[in-house]
Structure 1
Amino acid sequence: MAPSQFNFEGFKILIVDDTPANIEVLQKTLEVEGYNISVALSGDKALKIASRFAPDLVLLDIMMEGMDGYETCRHLKNNPETADTPVIFISARNDVEDVVEGFSQGGVDYIVKPFKSQEVLARVRTHLQLYALKRQREVLIAELEQRNKDLVSLNELKNRFLGIAAHDIRNPLSSINGFLELLTLSGGSFSKKEYEEMLELINKSVNDLLVMVDDLLDISVIESGNLKLDLKPGDMKSLIRERIQINSGHARGKDITIHEDLHDLALTVFDRRRMAQVLDNLISNAIKYSPLGGDVFITLSGEGGQALIGVRDEGQGIRPEDQQEIFTGFQKVGARPTGGEKSTGLGLAIVKSIVESHQGSIRVTSEVEKGSTFEVMLPAGEASANPA
């Protein structure tokens, strides 16, 4: 970018000189460019001002009482906050040794007094432009480095995604293929009961496969940032009861009792399909990890202008080191389903994304061998006084 195209207005310049007349001349020279000017009459004051003013360039006299310009420059360069700030020395000392010393202390340029205004403006413009371009380059490099890290992470995620998908999908496919081969080769030798049992197992494998595919598709949508919500006012209590009913067959199969304590709430705005997905995941997980003949407790209440949904089981619990990891996706923690149920490890990551898209939050409290409680908080009206 040519200097004529560069916008210098607003750049901050610190002028350091113990002679007020010199400062006044420099200030008037620079103000025509629209610079933001600050001044200091000593090296000590310059260091204090620089720490809060954060100048883009320093014009520094050498011969000053107390701390001279060379020492002031050393301090500026030793401070990480001002180490990269360009320093231009302006001095009546014009010996080669003085100029060399100025550069050795970290100065980027050296102007000899008496100076010409146009020379000062030209040198200031040049070094501000170089400084700005350097900062832009550093920002660009930082962005590229971050993008590279993101790409590496995404590649690792993709590899994990493909590995888990291949492994988890292969199992039900193998079961389906095995049973179909048996049925094909049997020549009708199986009894009606055996035939129905095989069809039931094939159906279960197909359903497991569909759940896995749905989870993989959902996490793909979420990771791409394309999760869309159809938000409408709705009755959270009726939705919870509906999802309990839908999951009751799973619970009966393990002789698990589901206990309800659901309060009436004002209408809550939510995406019914996505919140059904959240509830199904939490309820099915509670059943999945509960012992045979156990209990699951589901609550709904109003708390501080929020709807608070709780799902508690008395199962194996979650180790403290796993309690945050379970929401990140592709996690297979220590607890295992008590009925041999399948899992992609994606469910809670999907739940967390859906809940947070509703401006809500989810948390877990758990103790190993005593069970877990998942609590979902969503913006809502206050609960009524009476539970159902």
Structure 2
Amino acid sequence: MSINTPDTNIILIVDDSPIHLKVLSESLVNAGYEVAVAINGETALKQALYEPPDLILLDIQMPGMDGFETCQQLKAHPSTQAVPIIFMTALADTSSKIKGLKAGAVDYLTKPFQQEEVLARIKVHLQIKDLTQSLLEKNLLLDQLNHKLKHLVLEKDIQLQEADKLSSMGQMMAGITHEINNPLGFVIGNANQVEEFLQDLLTHLQLYQKFYPNPAVPIQNHAEEIDIGFLMADLPEMIASIKQGSLLIKEISTSMRIFAKVDGKNKVLFNIHDGMNSTLLILNHRLKANEHHPEIQVIKKYGKIPEIECFPGQLNQVFMNIIANAIDALEESNQGKTYAEIIASPNQITISTELTPDQTQVLIRIADNGTGIPEEICSQLFNPFFTTKPVGKGTGLGLSISYQIVVDKHQGKLECYSRNGQGTEFVIAIPVHAPKC
């Protein structure tokens, strides 16, 4: 209903005085309003409930049901409780006005009243009613939008988690490719050498069989040619290297399987140390020494903890995010330092696990000895899209999603403790047993 369009508004006048009804009706009709009338409270109530007006002018002193009772009943009914009621009365005392306002009236007109005053007050209260209705409609629309937004945020949250998981998987695959290529290189290289040496050995043995027990000169010459002594000594070492490389490939494959474990709908028992070790192995290419920094030392202080009920894949994602951030922090702290200076004060990541004293939670601490994080930044770390990294180096989602995984999905805690120049520590608390819903 638009404001300042009186022809769309219905005014119900309730008065037992025919003269007042006539005067007010003519005045309101001339002003462009549609008018309905009632001579007592009972009739007014029936009429208002049948077709609710936009405003009611209600006399207080009427036979039978007076204005106060009529007002109370109108305000008690859902279809008329929002209709503004203006009392008309010859009573000018304060107690009557207070009683009327408590009954639900919005205003008072004292008889005898001026036509301009009546029209002005009606206009004001109709505007207030329209504005209130508009506000209610906008609030309803806002609630609907908020409801839809929550669903969209939830869907986006799932998509962001998947995007972040894909980002982590990208890092993981880069690390795995790097780690697999090295052992595969020496497995293939040694396999070729073993094949050549073995053929030489077989040829030599065939000759040895042919001329045994008295080796002939050709056997002796061939033995010298292939350096049989070196071959026999080196062959076991090469085979051992093949086995070691194969085991490493298997270990990396197992770690990949543990890290990329697909979670079901329900939590399962999981060994936190297995998840942590698989994550470290996947990130090993970043921990190794390179032209920029010596090896980043990983100090494990694993306590005796039980398997916990959790979503393993999600927790592995948390470990990946936090440890990768620790490596980033250490690399940043190395800026401006020489290789020798870094060796003198080596980069370290310390990982410790323990049970809380009441044995209801597992505490996982991941600390680096980098330059630390200022307090004003530390307090924003878990906010979505917040990042201190250069453009293209981070999404700002890793720690936010980690917080959701720990707090929302596992009913745990994720906290950050840091001081400038003293490194950063993330503390994860996960219930040993999944809380009952």
Q: Which has the higher helix share?
A: 2
Greater share of strand residues, 1 or 2?
A: 1
Q: TM-score, normalization: structure 2?
A: 0.43
Q: Which has the higher contact order (CA 8 A, sep 6+)?
A: 1
Which of the pair has more CA radius of gyration? 2
TM-score normalised according to structure 1 size = 0.48
